[in-house]
């Protein structure tokens, strides 16, 4: 198994970023569906992880370490990725209709800084293909599905696309992530502003109520936010999320800013969202500010710049209940999942309670109330 992991990482770095991502997903998709490789993956990764359960949004996760949206946009490698021991996978972002996304090249590596810039633009095969692929999965792993609007849909009509996606995925996912913060779809960030945000949340909650009654099933909804929000926007959005009784918030998406990127000014000036190590501090600060306003009324999923167990712990200490990996996983592979889960399980065991939730409750209780600005 270490040989497979090393081979995948070597392939990832030799090819251009988008090609390597596509091929790696194809390999994982094939291995996850092929016996005995599927069993071998599960036994050598997921099967060797300690238990570190987390109950968030009413969902029991085997551990609090998830995969962020954006890697498996079309649900083609669910079994392969799930075998690596993630507590959950966030798939997508999926839109109602297929779309090619933005013109290539649109994904750039910064190896020295362990960062990526992407301007993919919600490229995906659409809802129908996504659902067909998801129906083929053989292993049970907790999943979230990230939904978005088609690029040709005007922002003021985008709520229609979100409602279409919500109805389509409602019964086949553990939670729904609503991406209103990708910097790579024109106008999308406007959905974080009023009156569009309140209008979107009201319609999503109305749809959720109807679907829950129709199916006898409550599927939580989490909103994904930008790391580029100002403090007053964070407070406003937090209050709005509480007012509409959203189930969770994901902090954060990629940033338009370029913190720490100085090695290659040509690439640093590429348009798109930055992820990776430079995003750790900005995204963690957003988590902290959100928690100060939310005070535990809805859980936070922390995402951005996690490359080692201390990074994950810093997110949790800032107020997150779950964490997600993306660029860190791309650079370091499944060993990063194991290192973080083992570290968190060790912290729980050393605490005397044996429960990570008890540690986090005590840590979160000490987070300071925000100062007026």
Query: Per residue in 190-242, pLDDT tens?
Result: 999 999 999 999 999 999 999 999 999 999 999 999 999 999 999 999 999 99
Give the percent of the chain with pLDDT over 70: 94
Q: Kindly state the DSSP code that residue 229 receives in the 8-state scheme.
A: -
Q: What is the pLDDT of residue 198?
A: 98
Q: What is the pLDDT of residue 24?
A: 84
Q: What is the pLDDT of residue 373?
A: 46
Q: What is the pLDDT of residue 367?
A: 86
Q: What is the pLDDT of residue 23?
A: 86
Q: What is the pLDDT of residue 4?
A: 60
Q: What residues does 94 pair with on adjacent strands?
A: 147
- Of 41-50, 86-95, 187-196, 337-346, which range is least confident? 41-50
Q: What is the pTM of this model?
A: 0.94
DSSP secondary structure string for all residues of 61-89? ESSSEEEPTTSSTTSSSHHHHHTTT-SEE
Total domains in the fold of the chain: 1
Q: Give mean pLDDT, residues 182-187.
A: 93
Q: What is the pLDDT of residue 39?
A: 74
- The residue segments making up the domain with residue 160 are 2-365
Query: Comparing 4 with 258, which gets the higher pLDDT?
Result: 258
Pairing of strands 88-94, 300-303: unpaired
**Which of the residues are catalytic?**
182
- Of 65-69, 122-126, 137-141, which range is least confident? 137-141
Q: What is the pLDDT of residue 10?
A: 67
Is residue 371 in a domain?
Answer: no
Q: Is the pLDDT of residue 1 over 70?
A: no
Is residue 104 in a domain?
Answer: yes
Q: What is the pLDDT of residue 161?
A: 98
d(CA 265, CA 94): 32
Do residues 217 and 177 make contact, with C-beta atoms less than 8 angstroms apart? no
- H helix count then E strand count, the chain: 14, 13
Mean pLDDT of the residues in the chain: 92
Q: Is the pLDDT of residue 42 over 80?
A: no
Is residue 301 in a domain?
Answer: yes
Is residue 370 in a domain?
Answer: no
Q: Is the pLDDT of residue 12 over 70?
A: no
Q: What is the pLDDT of residue 83?
A: 92
Could you tell me the sign of the dihedral formed by the alpha carbons of 64, 69, 70, 71, in that order? positive
DSSP secondary structure string for all residues of 86-97? -SEEEEEEE-SS
- Of 60-69, 257-266, 278-287, 359-368, which range is least confident? 257-266
Q: Who's near 211: CB < 8 A, 6+ residues apart?
A: 166, 167, 170, 217, 219
Q: Is the pLDDT of residue 45 over 80?
A: no
Is residue 373 in a domain?
Answer: no
- In order of 156, 201, 204, the CA distances from 195 in angstroms are 10, 10, 14
Q: What is the pLDDT of residue 136?
A: 94
Query: Per residue in 293-325, pLDDT tens?
Result: 999 999 999 999 999 999 999 999 999 999 999
What CATH number is attached to the domain comprising 87? 3.20.20.70
Is residue 372 in a domain?
Answer: no
Query: Per residue in 259-277, pLDDT tens?
Result: 877 667 777 788 999 999 9
Q: What is the pLDDT of residue 70?
A: 96
Q: What residues does 145 pair with on adjacent strands?
A: 91, 176
């Amino acid at each position: 198994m270490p040989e497979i992991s090393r081979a995948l990482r070597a392939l990832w770095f030799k090819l251009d970023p988008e090609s390597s991502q596509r091929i790696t997903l194809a390999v994982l998709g094939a291995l996850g569906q092929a016996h005995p490789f599927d069993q071998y993956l599960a036994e050598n990764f997921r099967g060797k992880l300690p238990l570190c359960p987390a109950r968030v949004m009413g969902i029991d996760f085997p551990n609090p370490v998830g995969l962020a949206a954006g890697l498996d946009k079309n649900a083609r490698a669910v079994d392969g990725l799930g075998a690596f021991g993630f507590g959950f996978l966030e798939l997508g972002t999926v839109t109602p209709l297929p779309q090619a996304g933005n013109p290539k090249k649109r994904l750039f590596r910064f190896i020295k800084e362990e960062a990526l810039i992407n301007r993919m633009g919600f490229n995906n095969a659409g809802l129908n293909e996504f659902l067909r692929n998801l129906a083929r999965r053989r292993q049970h792993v907790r999943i979230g599905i990230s939904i978005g609007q088609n690029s040709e849909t005007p922002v003021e009509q985008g709520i229609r696309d979100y409602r279409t996606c919500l109805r389509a995925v409602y019964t086949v996912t553990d939670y729904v992530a609503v991406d209103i913060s990708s910097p790579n779809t024109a106008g999308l960030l406007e959905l974080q502003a009023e009156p569009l945000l309140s209008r979107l949340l009201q319609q999503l909650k109305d749809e959720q109520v109807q679907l829950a009654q129709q199916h006898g099933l409550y599927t939580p909804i989490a909103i994904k936010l930008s790391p580029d929000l100002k403090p007053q926007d964070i407070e406003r959005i937090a209050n709005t999320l509480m007012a509409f009784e959203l189930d969770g918030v994901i902090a954060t998406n990629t940033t338009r800013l370029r913190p720490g990127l100085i090695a290659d000014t040509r690439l640093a000036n590429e348009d798109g969202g930055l992820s990776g190590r430079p995003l750790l501090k900005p995204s963690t600060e957003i988590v902290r500010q959100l928690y100060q306003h939310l005070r535990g009324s809805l859980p936070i999923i922390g995402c951005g710049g996690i490359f080692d167990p201390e990074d994950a712990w810093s997110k949790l200490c800032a107020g997150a209940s779950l964490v997600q990996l993306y660029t860190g996983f791309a650079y370091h592979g499944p060993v990063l999942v194991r290192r973080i889960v083992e570290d968190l399980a060790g912290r729980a065991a050393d605490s005397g309670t044996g429960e990570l939730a008890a540690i986090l409750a005590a840590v979160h209780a000490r987070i300071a109330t925000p100062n007026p600005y």
